[in-house]
Structure 1
């Protein structure tokens, strides 16, 4: 029941509902090589896009757009752009180059759905409520949309992989993005049979999750 201002009662989710939310957060994985070829049901994909669109945004500006990349030839060119940037990136880890090169960091050609989520830096006009003193908040808002989609996908049994190893101008050119639109996330989406029990980079020995207690501060940054 709502009042005349459109307010609704706030309250806890049920135990099962809360457990499901925390499970999706805890079990979300960045999927690279576990995609199955079967297509994602259009209704399911629509739910994932709606979850992304339901994200919070500064000043309710909703700066995101969702570009579905279906053309096989275009995907091939995007994969080539990734491969070129990835070869460059490998040289930046000379002591770990063999491990780096063994990691599969994308599923561009394997995943049945490729999606680029962009941020329109002009949406909402010159002055957006809440963005007047930090212009980057539109980018943060778009990242919230990405996370919403990712968590919804986990609940649907759908894998998502974020491909971040691109030269931005390469992706911008391939997708014909105007100057005021930023590619925030290139996502590979599809059904998966298995997921790593812990983040893949942790399983493969690249990094480990930091203990939460080491990251909690009180009132200010500690003196050095």
Structure 2
């Protein structure tokens, strides 16, 4: 029998969201920050090694600098065509395509001048049009503002004594870090908060190195990821360029029964 509290937990897991829009300017309370660190601490890890380390960043100057790096990274990635080339396999341009594939992101919210050209964004002509319309700079500025307006950033690091890529300990430590971050991701909703991965600086090594130096990361730790967190506003307008990613694969698309090649039946 599943009790009411258990159903609330399951409902919370099913309702997990990523926040694409801005947060309220209110500081995240120290109580809530510590709750998030405690749920991360509760995650499983290989031999209870707990290889994760976190940096909680509230200083507006540091947040502003990371925001500048994130915005510049986005501008460079879009302007060079790298972003779309690298991630084109995840883009969907119609509801029908999403219904069939049930993965990736549906680009369903664009400025009017770009809407007729959604399927051409991967071509040279599409990139040229985006440059003429100032899309790389706009996306970079949107990204900068989102990060700069976040009251809390969280850097996630791994202890290199455990994180040894190419060895099993490297896999185990990344697995444990993922569980810790997922615990945080699932807990923020209960606190009226949201979370989003600040991914673009990782795409450009020199920008990622700048963040390492900004956070004074020592040689024995590896900077793995940065997230932005904050309290959610009551009503939130969508960004000018936005997407939907709520579809999930059907059971028959990712679950096998007894052996590979025997799909689970959809209910």
**TM-score range normalised by the length of the shorter chain:** 0.7 to 0.9
| Alignment size in residue pairs | 201
Residues 1:207 and 1:151: Cα distance change in structure 2 (over 3 Å): closer
Does the 8 A contact of 2:162 with 2:169 survive in 1? no
Does the 8 A contact of 1:146 with 1:185 survive in 2? no
Measured against aligned partners, the alpha-carbon deviations of 1:108-128 in whole angstroms (never above 9, x if no partner) come to: 21121111121112159x9xx
Q: Which residue of structure 2 lines up, in the alignment, with residue 140 of structure 1?
A: 175
Match of 1:22 among 10, 34, 46: 10
Q: Is 2:72 the counterpart of 1:84?
A: yes
Measured against aligned partners, the alpha-carbon deviations of 1:154-208 in whole angstroms (never above 9, x if no partner) come to: 1222111111111332322221212332222312111103589xxx9xx725795
Measured against aligned partners, the alpha-carbon deviations of 1:120-154 in whole angstroms (never above 9, x if no partner) come to: 12159x9xxxx973522101211111110111111
Task: Give the Cα separation in 2 of the matches to 1:214 and 1:69.
Answer: 40
CA drift of 1:19 comes to 1.8
Q: Is 2:157 the counterpart of 1:118?
A: yes
Other structure's SS at 1:136 match? helix
Does the 8 A contact of 1:162 with 1:187 survive in 2? yes
Other structure's SS at 2:157 match? strand
**Normalized against structure 1, the TM-score is what?**
0.75
Q: Which residue of structure 2 lines up, in the alignment, with residue 8 of structure 1?
A: none
Residues 1:30 and 1:121: Cα distance change in structure 2 (over 3 Å): same
Q: Which residue of structure 2 lines up, in the alignment, with residue 165 of structure 1?
A: 200
Q: Which residue of structure 2 lines up, in the alignment, with residue 186 of structure 1?
A: 226
Task: Give the Cα separation in 1 of the matches to 2:35 and 2:73.
Answer: 32
CA drift of 1:105 comes to 5.0
Q: Which residue of structure 2 lines up, in the alignment, with residue 6 of structure 1?
A: none
Which one has a larger percent helix, Structure 1 or Structure 2? 2
Residues 1:102 and 1:87: Cα distance change in structure 2 (over 3 Å): closer
What aligned pairs does 1:1-224 form with structure 2 within 5 A after superposition? 14-90=2-78, 91-92=81-82, 93=84, 94-95=121-122, 107-123=146-162, 133-167=168-202, 168-194=208-234, 204=243, 208-218=247-257, 221-222=260-261
**Normalized against structure 2, the TM-score is what?**
0.64
Structure 2 segments unaligned to the other structure (5+ residues): 85-120, 203-207, 262-267
Task: Give the Cα separation in 2 of the matches to 1:105 and 1:23.
Answer: 30
Task: Give the Cα separation in 1 of the matches to 2:245 and 2:186.
Answer: 24
Task: Give the Cα separation in 2 of the matches to 1:160 and 1:180.
Answer: 27
Task: Give the Cα separation in 1 of the matches to 2:255 and 2:143.
Answer: 31
Q: Which residue of structure 2 lines up, in the alignment, with residue 5 of structure 1?
A: none
